[in-house]
Chain A
Amino acid sequence: MSKTITIDGNTIPFEDGQTIMEAATAAGVYIPHLCHHPEFTPHGSCKLCTVKVNGRICSACTFPAMEGQDVLNNTKELTDDRQLITQMLFVEGNHLCPGCEKTGNCQLQAVAYHLNMLDNHFPHFYPNREMDASHEDVLIDHNRCIFCTLCVRASQQKDGKDVFAISGRGINKHLIFNSQSGLLKDTDLDATDQAAQICPTGAILIKRTGYQVPIGERIYDHKQIDQVSLETEHHQHDK
């Protein structure tokens, strides 16, 4: 008999070593997330996947599933907090969707849509951030970086490289590149690297590929991120 936890009252099975996120995804339950990706070591930083486990706040992507857990995921309280956290990400950087190639295919935007976020609520920081267009095939727009470290992890864990890192402290955090000049062109990044493809926002873009999919056919035009996420990540968790 397999072990189980409950999520919002529904019993779902889990295996030892699975996180709550992994057990939920395998059972077809979506928990919002941005810094999590099934192929990489969980990070636990965006805090969108916060759930309540037996009354205690935990990050579903890092917290192990254990017998006897009653997990709350889809509650008004958690959804409200998740919306505020998403709004924080929007005001922290410069997310001007109408001018971004990633629009329609952007996970940050899609999570916000999913949470029915209609405004940014907080005052904007409008930080002065640079772009790095030095690389032949890949463009970095720091304005859109949310410090999820997916590119950092993908480069290390998948590409066998070490192109990206997050540096700095607090609100001054920023993405840096592993080259003496500090420029992306002097790293060994290729456009085909998973690190170049994995950005959940428009911070890392492959040049000359923007706006190729017409409006109406983009990933999140008709499907919500919960559905897309479960379709694409379910099998990856099983690997």
Chain B
Amino acid sequence: MKQFIQDLAETNRYQATHLLHILRGVQSRFHYIPEQAIEQIAELLKISRTQIIGVIEFYSFFHLKPRGQYELLISDSITDHMLGKQSLINYLSEKLTVAVGEVRQDGVVSLDNTSCTGMCDQGPAGLVNGYALTRLDRTRIDQITDLINQQKPLDQWPGELFQVEDNIIEPGLLLSQSINQGSALQSAFKRGLKETLIELDKSGLRGRGGAGFKTATKWKFCSEEQGNQRYVICNADEGEPGTFKDRVLLNSYAHRVFEGMTLCAAIIGAQQGFLYLRGEYLHLYDKLQSVLDERRQAGFLGNNILKEGLNFDIEICLGAGAYICGEESALIESLEGKMGIPRNRPPYPVTQGYLGKPTVVNNVETFIAAASIAVKGGDWFANVGTEKSKGTKILSICGDCSRPGIYEYPFGTSIQSVLNDCGARDVLGIQIGGPSGTFISNKEFDRKLAFEDLATGGSFIVFNNSRNILDIVNNFTHFFAHESCGFCTPCRVGTALLKKQLDKIVEGHGSAGDVVALEELCQLIKTQSHCGLGQTAANPVLTTLERYPELYQSQLKNISYEPGFDLDGALETARRLAKRNDAGAHLAQVEE
């Protein structure tokens, strides 16, 4: 182990910023991070062991205790549930003889749930030692069980288990019109970098991650900062349940993503870029590295790019299972080798980002759009869309529809026409923008995709009338409680309380005041939380409570109060030890 870690540290140039890389290496080799490894890494990287332990305990994919040689994780996204995830994981647990959350006695396999793995159009999905598994069914589970019991190395597993489809159904402005490799840079240098920034401004492009800050303005602010070190970061930590468009863009449009990043570097004056790739997309890593190599060889990356004096390169950093790292300042912390805790703002990343230097963080789709705009001009983009939302939006459509996949629409497109295209019938409602977005009912399908109406980072989940809204809300609420970083009180404690309170209502133990209490808690979490995660964690409850108040009320019993815990269950231990089961040994949940 000693030599392994020594080599790993050396490959990572003993940089503390590379702590996640190193821990990924150790976890992948030993299936946990042993105590000796922590000591050794602390010494080699000259950081405290507490920083390392903090990071290990923060990210879902790192463990202080051994996991199985096959670490099996099943995606817990609502879309996976709709495809029968629960019965599959039960079957898997039975077949592999390991309980969910546990390691099998022989240490060969461990099984657990994980947050949405971004395979919603081809679920139920999972991960084995970090690699994506798609379209799981009983046949595949039998197959996987055999492979694990025979202890077959992953590279000998049949490729179809790992087959990930793009499913681009409706390409639009960006996806149907290709650009030549290097052409965005060539156009930019030819036109002039300042003029290209003006084109970008003219295009009206706003960030595609969801917040919608004007891209040209962000780049301009960053370029105007003092100092000569700046950074470009591509946020590919696509963790919002129901979103998978960045996975497809990185699989089939990686050149354009990197071209957009290089363009940004030219304009703001950056020498280093990072692609922060969510850990769940490990299967893309090697392919993306080879795209980077190609680009270096073609002179689009490295020193003196296109002989224009631009020096810029891109490094790929993998996440390790933390939704919060999609928040840009948490992402930067993570890139620096730390826990993904969102920073206090101001200062914003454009003034003090990675290592305290001015940094542009943009979404994958934003860089693609920027590269295309550099070639085709601002008007080409601005002519499409609405007054306040220019261009197109790429959607990941999944859930109850016959053609899930990637769709690109001009902003201003109505929800109804999207539904027609994807083959959605008998629709109850749609979750737009993922759990942190909005649930709209089937009376609102004339609403439009746009920052000024329904903003979305790309997640679009369709629910038909067979679905139960409270189950959906419950899944989302548990998700946020699981993903809260725990930095601030309202989100750390609030999301955990919200989970309890919603469980109480959903399980039918709610009484008169419980919906009022639920709403009070939601408002507190929304207004008082430190970052976007907390500020949106109550959205599933709030947006459905607004539309279906009667649904919540009907869950309540017609009494003034019911305990939030199982009263009779609380006597179970005492009953067993006293060997009693008489009437006096039981309690009714509500007074009769």
Contacts and interface: CB of A to CB of B under 8 A. Distances in A.
Contacts of A85: 489-490, 524, 528
Contacts of A166: 54
Contacts of A122: 497
Contact of B492 (A42, A162, A173): A173
Interface in A99-134: 122-123, 125
Contact of A45 (B482, B487, B496, B564): B487
Interface of A: 42, 44-48, 50, 57, 59, 62-64, 81, 84-85, 88-89, 91-92, 122-123, 125, 146-147, 162, 164-173, 176-178, 180
Contact of A123 (B322, B484, B497, B524): B497
Given A45-B487, A84-B520, A123-B500, 7 more contacts: A45-B488, A59-B530, A92-B496, A146-B489, A147-B486, A165-B53, A170-B481
B344 A165 contact: no
Contacts of B529: 47
Interface stretch (B44-52, B145-153, B157-165): B44-52
Nearest to A64: B346
B416 interface: no
A46 B486 CA distance: 11
B383 interface: no
Interface residues of B, number: 39
A46 B529 CA distance: 10
B484 A169 contact: yes
B483 A170 contact: yes
Interface string B402-420: 0000000000000000000
Contacts of B564: 123
Contact of A81 (B53, B57, B485, B528): B528
Contact of A89 (B339, B489, B500): B489
Contacts of B527: 57, 81
A47 B528 CA distance: 7
A84 B59 CA distance: 29
A46 B482 CA distance: 20
A57 B87 CA distance: 44
A113 B71 CA distance: 49
Contact of A168 (B48, B58, B481, B524): B58
Q: Shortest 7 CB-CB distances between A and B: which pairs? A: A165-B50, A88-B493, A62-B344, A170-B484, A173-B486, A171-B496, A167-B54
A167 B58 contact: yes
Contacts of B49: 178, 180
A171 B500 CA distance: 13
Interface in B485-536: 485-490, 492-497, 500, 520, 524, 527-530
Contacts of A48: 489
B224 interface: no
A177 B495 CA distance: 27
A225 to B, nearest CB: 17
Given A85-B490, A122-B497, A169 B53 contact: no
A177 B497 CA distance: 28
A95 to B, nearest CB: 13
A18 to B, nearest CB: 14
A61 B530 CA distance: 13
Contacts of B481: 170-171
B39 interface: yes
Given A168-B57, A170-B482, A45 B50 contact: no
A170 B497 contact: no
A70 to B, nearest CB: 18
Nearest to A90: B493
